[in-house]
Structure 1
Amino acid sequence: MYIGLDLGTSGLKGVLIDETQAIRAEATAPLDVSRPHDGWSEQDPAAWLAAADRVMQDLRAKADLSGVRGIGLSGHMHGATLLDAGHQVLRPCILWNDTRSHKEAAALDADPRFRAVTGNIVFPGFTAPKLAWVCNNELDLFAKVALVLLPKDYLRLWLTGEAVAEMSDAAGTSWLDTGRRDWDDGLLEATHLTRSNMPRLVEGCEVSGTLRPELASQWGLQQGVVVAGGGGDNAASAVGVGVVRAGDAFVSLGTSGVLFAASDAYQPDAASAVHTFCHALPGTWHQMGVILAAADALNWYAGLVDRKASDLTGELGDLREPGRTLFLPYLGGERTPHNDAAVRGSFLHLDHATDRTALTRAVLEGITHAFRDSFDALVSTGTRIDRLIAVGGGSRSEYWVKAIATSLGLPIEIPVAGDFGGAFGAARLGMMAATGAGAEIATAPQMARTVDPDPTLTPAFAEAHARYRDAYLALKGRA
């Protein structure tokens, strides 16, 4: 059996799979995010360890873990977890959706080496500008930094005692030579770091270490359980849903929104704000458009009107052409294609006829238009999308998936009931590390149905998307 642990922004999830990859047990533990200032987003790494222990204890209560051979890790990317020489945490982790380092990101991005080596814009959410911000604003603390880890890799350090990262997550730091799959010394020096401050690198399906004996005993596991390199949350989700070959893609309707396409070649186009990262499997990469607030924006709106998000989307009925009301979902800035940390969300064209249902539709349509932005950016790089699968909690909304399919002009497949996200992908990577299996085990799950676009509404969605883009340009012009 194999375990996948997925460290998400709002919770840590664990799944247990057997040799046939059937899920035998699952457990979750919630996590909180601190936002002490506008644009800031932090978590206490100690909370991750407590959540992991709770999840493992819950799994043990539900199933016999003595047959577990491998563990895989997944987690939210880009977070700066800073440790001193004794591996003590120096400050709360600065998370992926934190935009405080936008000035530092712009300064690093102005150095042509970063785009040339990493294949990506230096986004404010990436790790390198966070370290530059700490250097500029917390110099005494920065002087104590001995090790920089990504969130799931701090969890790995606790599990194994090994400071290790893997390629898919490392590609989101702005320090990795994404084509060569290795740290770049010049980019590290640009943020006053050296290779000695970084973990060693492995591929996602390789062994990164073994579970510490005391934890194995505590959780009812045998000694010698291997821990795989794992993957960043989206790369691990891609392994879980079988998106590992060129032409395959998924759209993720989670806290953030992601349009992820696998690639068998390194083909960056940084100017498009498309992310070009290593995949979690050797010799593969992926292209990705990222929306900072997808389901997060819907949940924010649901909180304002004091309703459950699922109840709001359930009130909408059949898909209809977009209304005049627009919603720009930029609650904390935006990545693809704008690379704009300063822009903020907005409702536009409200009138006396605007009711709760109209606002709900506007929120879903606004996020749909943001996905269309990412789709257009991906296509502009030459990325091929032959098959599109929907994952994440938002994929339960037929209305929302239908809107995205219609906007993109592509059918979207919905997997059968079950979890094929980051935790499941991490478990598959744990299975690969323990058994030596390869990408052949990362098959697509059985599909429950396909949601086809509505061609009669395609022109209306295209027109609404054009108004949405104009609204963003106007909003940016007033900033």
Structure 2
Amino acid sequence: MFYIGVDLGTSSVKLLLMDGSGKIEKIVSREYPIAFPHPGWSEQSPQDWWKETKAGICELTEGFDKSQVAGISFGGQMHGLVILDKEDQVIRPAILWNDGRTQKQTDYLNNSVGKDKLSAYTANIAFAGFTAPKILWVKENEPENFQRIAKIMLPKDYIAYCLTGVHSSDYSDASGMLLMDVKNKCWSRKMMEICDVKEEQLPKLYESYEITGTLKPEVAEELGLPKACIVTAGAGDNAAAAVGTGTVGNEKCNISLGTSGTIFISSNDFCVDKFNALHAFAHADGHYHLMGCMLSAASCNKWWMDEIIRTKDYGAEQKGIEKLGENHVFFLPYLMGERSPHNNPNARGTFTGLTMDSTREDMTQAVLEGVAFAIRDSLEVARAQGLHIERATICGGGAKSPLWKKMIANILNIKVDVIKSEEGPALGGAMLAAVACGEYKSVEEAAKAIVKVVDTVEPDMELVEKYEKKYRTFAEIYPALKPVFDKIAEA
């Protein structure tokens, strides 16, 4: 049997065809536009997602026995607001996760409602990208559209609706709406009251691997797929990527060094830190996870290489870096402000410790180390909750650097596993579909069978000790400079 994973991203939809053993048979990608109607705004047409997903499924299955496609599931961009009227027609373009228009509503939730209450209701505090502030923005700025809302959906859930006719969502993606009681896995009545939302306007919630429906007859005919092809709830992109990297089960970890950076830690038990420094979300394996998200990770190195020292030969710049754990230059990687664990949009990037004998290599090394130190900041929050992390898988563009992986292993004092496939959310989606169809008994069983480790970077205890001292110094820099960042923002 075959299983389709749909990764509904911000710039394109990526589709993956996997057989029952986990072999990836084919991958296709279809792009769609993003609109920026005002500075800081970011919108997309849900109809574009559906159009390109349909075309992508047809392209993906061409040349294969379509009757053998047993299931479809998803990973998808989180937090986006899709609103439908009583005829299930899209009311306005979707407001995306990276849209910045809701600062007023975010401040209202955090400061007037209060972070303590938000955390008690949802296990999280408000961020401008979350869905609840977007709902409040529509209510305040587009009251006529707000009055027409019959259903509130997330991006991937709109595609699931188009396939099945069922309004559904999963716990992992819904965790990022600031409307769900994450601990108890249900919609929060308090948050519905705050946002003036009724429960019938929200989709039914499922575990990521649960079946929500089968293909509508007309959709099955158009796509050439069996009417019995099942659709499962799927997951938010980070949770789906975690499934695709084998980050399921208790105290498993994945680090992503992409444009932004994440550290994703799975847990059998619900937990939330008292400062809400990390997101506390439900996981696609039926349990929970903590996630730290830094806004600039590999993009810090790209900025340093492309814009400052003006070279594309990233490998050559790293060849001269040999004295690990001995650098006196420190770099704060907050080029776009910071999310986890500081939650401070005013934070800025800095070099600290420069002297007349500081070299180009020292500064390049500081950039790489600064990102690793910042990831450790989030790991320390998780460790304070009693989680014991001994190893992590690693993915993303930055993971191609042997030097960076070595730094991560020694700065975090964990084993770093490199996996064979880095298809992330699309593979995770296909795996969830396979679980739903009974190919595997659980998400954890699927991960053990499909995700293969091809290399491991071990920490060196001598380097670990050196980096421990350096990290303690790094950890003092941001608190010392925070008042300065606030003054810069006010200027």
Global fold match (TM > 0.5): yes
Q: Does the 8 A contact of 2:119 with 2:276 survive in 1? A: no
Question: Aligned in 2, Cα 1:326/1:38: closer, same or farther, shift over 3 Å?
Answer: farther
Question: Aligned in 2, Cα 1:386/1:90: closer, same or farther, shift over 3 Å?
Answer: same
Match of 1:192 in 2: 196
Deviation at 1:56, TM superposition (A): 1.8
Match of 2:162 in 1: 158
Q: Does the 8 A contact of 1:97 with 1:292 survive in 2? A: no
Of 386, 392, 395 in structure 2, the residue corresponding to residue 382 of structure 1 is 386
Q: Does the 8 A contact of 1:120 with 1:270 survive in 2? A: no
Of 416, 433, 438 in structure 2, the residue corresponding to residue 435 of structure 1 is 438
Partners of 2:350 and 2:228 lie apart in 1 by 53
Q: Does the 8 A contact of 1:239 with 1:442 survive in 2? A: yes
Match of 1:450 in 2: 456
Q: Does the 8 A contact of 2:416 with 2:458 survive in 1? A: yes
Match of 1:19 in 2: 20
- Structure 2 segments unaligned to the other structure (5+ residues): 487-491
Deviation at 1:61, TM superposition (A): 3.3
Matching of residues 109-258 of structure 1 within 5 Å: 109=110, 110-111=113-114, 112-258=116-262
| More deviation, 312-321/426-435 | 312-321
Match of 1:312 in 2: 314
Deviation at 1:42, TM superposition (A): 3.6
Match of 1:28 in 2: 29
Partners of 1:83 and 1:289 lie apart in 2 by 32
Match of 1:60 in 2: 61
Of 422, 427, 434 in structure 2, the residue corresponding to residue 419 of structure 1 is 422
Partners of 1:369 and 1:148 lie apart in 2 by 39
Deviation at 1:82, TM superposition (A): 2.6
Deviation at 1:415, TM superposition (A): 1.0
| AA aligned opposite 1:29 | R
Q: Does the 8 A contact of 2:102 with 2:128 survive in 1? A: yes
Deviation at 1:158, TM superposition (A): 2.1
Of 295, 298, 302 in structure 1, the residue corresponding to residue 298 of structure 2 is 295
| More deviation, 401-410/51-60 | 51-60
Partners of 2:360 and 2:218 lie apart in 1 by 53
Deviation at 1:315, TM superposition (A): 3.4
| More deviation, 218-227/69-78 | 218-227
Deviation at 1:271, TM superposition (A): 1.4
Deviation at 1:72, TM superposition (A): 0.8
Deviation at 1:138, TM superposition (A): 3.5
Deviation at 1:141, TM superposition (A): 3.3
Partners of 1:225 and 1:347 lie apart in 2 by 55
Partners of 2:50 and 2:352 lie apart in 1 by 43
Partners of 1:144 and 1:347 lie apart in 2 by 51
Question: Aligned in 2, Cα 1:17/1:326: closer, same or farther, shift over 3 Å?
Answer: same
Question: Aligned in 2, Cα 1:303/1:228: closer, same or farther, shift over 3 Å?
Answer: farther
| More deviation, 188-197/53-62 | 53-62
Q: Does the 8 A contact of 1:210 with 1:225 survive in 2? A: yes
| AA aligned opposite 1:180 | N
Question: Aligned in 2, Cα 1:361/1:80: closer, same or farther, shift over 3 Å?
Answer: farther
Structure 1 SS opposite 2:398: helix
Match of 2:478 in 1: 472
Once the two structures are superposed, residues 200-246 of structure 1 have per-residue CA deviations (whole angstroms, 9 ceiling, x without a partner) of 11111111122233333333322221111111112112222222211
| AA aligned opposite 2:400 | R
| AA aligned opposite 1:472 | Y
Match of 1:71 in 2: 72
Structure 2 SS opposite 1:287: strand
Structure 2 SS opposite 1:20: coil
| AA aligned opposite 2:292 | G
Partners of 1:239 and 1:184 lie apart in 2 by 26
Structure 2 SS opposite 1:66: helix
Deviation at 1:46, TM superposition (A): 3.4
| AA aligned opposite 2:456 | T
Match of 1:49 in 2: 50
Identity, % of aligned positions: 38
Deviation at 1:371, TM superposition (A): 0.4
| AA aligned opposite 2:295 | L
Structure 1 SS opposite 2:62: helix
Partners of 1:208 and 1:313 lie apart in 2 by 47
- Structure 1 segments unaligned to the other structure (5+ residues): none
Of 340, 347, 356 in structure 2, the residue corresponding to residue 343 of structure 1 is 347
Q: Does the 8 A contact of 1:253 with 1:395 survive in 2? A: yes
Question: Aligned in 2, Cα 1:230/1:319: closer, same or farther, shift over 3 Å?
Answer: farther
| More deviation, 390-399/132-141 | 132-141
Q: Does the 8 A contact of 1:25 with 1:62 survive in 2? A: no
Structure 2 SS opposite 1:70: strand
Q: Does the 8 A contact of 1:211 with 1:226 survive in 2? A: yes
Aligned length: 476
Of 395, 401, 406 in structure 2, the residue corresponding to residue 402 of structure 1 is 406
Question: Aligned in 2, Cα 1:195/1:355: closer, same or farther, shift over 3 Å?
Answer: farther
Question: Aligned in 2, Cα 1:163/1:332: closer, same or farther, shift over 3 Å?
Answer: farther
| AA aligned opposite 2:452 | Q
The two structures, once aligned, show a CA RMSD in angstroms of 2.8
| More deviation, 27-36/375-384 | 27-36
Q: Does the 8 A contact of 1:119 with 1:270 survive in 2? A: no
Partners of 1:100 and 1:468 lie apart in 2 by 33
Question: Aligned in 2, Cα 1:38/1:228: closer, same or farther, shift over 3 Å?
Answer: same
